[in-house]
Structure 1
Amino acid sequence: MNDELDGFAVLLVDDHPLFRDGLATALRHQVPTLQVHAVATLDQALEVLCSDGEAFDLVLLDYRLPGEDGLRGAERLRARCPSVGIGLMSGVDDPTLPRRAYDAGLMAYLPKALELPALLSCLRRLANGETVFDDELLAPAISVAAVAGPRGLTGRQVDVLRHLATGASNKKIARALGISPATVKKHIEDIFDKMGASNRLQAVMMARDTLEQHDA
């Protein structure tokens, strides 16, 4: 049975070696096809991403990094690598962090206290293009995206579909939505399946018709 995390690539950025290496090992053990690369600093992360940024679907940043917090670090990452998805992890008891991460355009806020099965569930949601935040805090924002779209498409798939209808490339769609090209590709494959499209041109034509009916 295929797992949403098969081939999904995560760059973990955390300066605490026990947590960083332990988490990376645990994730690889639970899902051997999940690709996890771990580094200690933001500069190391930038070096890896600048070398091959498209190799990663998600960067998970610790909130407390040496010399700067993860939110400022996320701004630096997005400035250099705008197409990569970014999530924030933290062990800090600060109820404002999920909202601040959401407002900063990040894809997720994940408490370090999460049990491994819950973390894997969150990663699967991220692999499917969803955002992951505290549901109660962000209910108004998340509920809109969660509404089923035409042909059973998710809210994020509808977003991709709108860009697809303009003829935008995967890279352009990724940049506009703040997700990785690999995640866009997976969404498009799922859209093809749900719409019964056999190629991109057919999907673009069907997208335009579907969106016109949906927005009417």
Structure 2
Amino acid sequence: MDALDGFALLLVDDHPLFRDGLAAALRHQAPGLRVQAVGSPAEALELLMNDGEGFDLVLLDYRLPGTDGLRCAAQVMERHPGLGVGLMSGADDPTLGRRAQDAGLVAYLPKTLEVPALLAQLRQLAEGEPAFADAARAPDADQAPTGPYGLTVRQVDVLRMLASGGSNKEIAREMGISPGTVKNHLNAIFTKMGAANRTQAVMMARSALEQDAAG
């Protein structure tokens, strides 16, 4: 199963040729990916107001009419705190990746990325990991496998809450991510652990976390 199956992306870019071309290319190469594209921050905010839980990621162009992607991202995150927000840009500004990270965004993706590379970054996001393809500092340590079963720090956090009896919604609220991202985290965790279902994963998690704490 592709991590992008059912993943919902809202693309915000005021250049129709780029916006519509990218949306078509993503749909073609990842048929399970749900892509909706709009041309302005106002359209995006209206759409999210009506269907805020219908998307897993909002990907904003940096240069938008009347504002910029970082300002728009702040508005989106304030109104929809559990929603992942990322920035795309064709600007030659080496500070943008770092500024996006510092602002609490989950991704910075240059427009120079080829579609397969962009899809790889989106899969990373669908699995619950941040994606900064051109950040000005080292990749987030959360992405490095350090826990039991080769889990990342982020995945271990999810696993601890799962082992404590947390529901997907409770985990999402605690971690400030969407329930869809939690589900993708759990799918990745189950695959790494070789767990057939949630109950087995909880039992394995409690055992592994106890051993980890004892060690």
TM over 0.5: yes
Cα 1:138–1:176 shift into 2, 3 Å? farther
Cα 1:67–1:130 shift into 2, 3 Å? same
Shift of 1:26: 1.0
Amino acid in the other structure paired with 1:188: L
Normalization by structure 2: what TM-score?
A: 0.88
| Structure 1 segments unaligned to the other structure (5+ residues) | none
Q: Percent identity?
A: 67
State how far apart, in whole Å, the 2-side matches of 1:21 and 1:136 are: 26
1:55-204 paired onto structure 2 within 5 Å: 55-134=54-133, 137-139=136-138, 142-195=140-193, 200=198, 203-204=201-202
Summarize deviations over 1:164-213 as a string: whole Å, max 9, x none. 23433322322343432112112223334444556546644543443333
State how far apart, in whole Å, the 2-side matches of 1:154 and 1:186 are: 14
> What SS class does the counterpart of residue 173 from structure 1 fall into?
helix
Shift of 1:113: 1.0
> What SS class does the counterpart of residue 180 from structure 2 fall into?
helix
State how far apart, in whole Å, the 1-side matches of 2:49 and 2:187 are: 27
Amino acid in the other structure paired with 1:183: T
> What SS class does the counterpart of residue 11 from structure 1 fall into?
strand
CA contact (8 A) 1:90 1:110 kept: yes
CA contact (8 A) 1:135 1:142 kept: no
Amino acid in the other structure paired with 2:112: A
Shift of 1:144: 4.7
Count of paired positions = 214
> What SS class does the counterpart of residue 59 from structure 2 fall into?
strand
Amino acid in the other structure paired with 2:45: L
Shift of 1:51: 1.7
CA RMSD of aligned residues (A): 2.2
CA contact (8 A) 2:6 2:33 kept: yes
Cα 1:135–1:36 shift into 2, 3 Å? closer
Summarize deviations over 1:45-65 as a string: whole Å, max 9, x none. 122222222221111011111
Amino acid in the other structure paired with 2:20: D
State how far apart, in whole Å, the 1-side matches of 2:10 and 2:111 are: 16
State how far apart, in whole Å, the 2-side matches of 1:193 and 1:119 are: 23
Amino acid in the other structure paired with 1:93: D
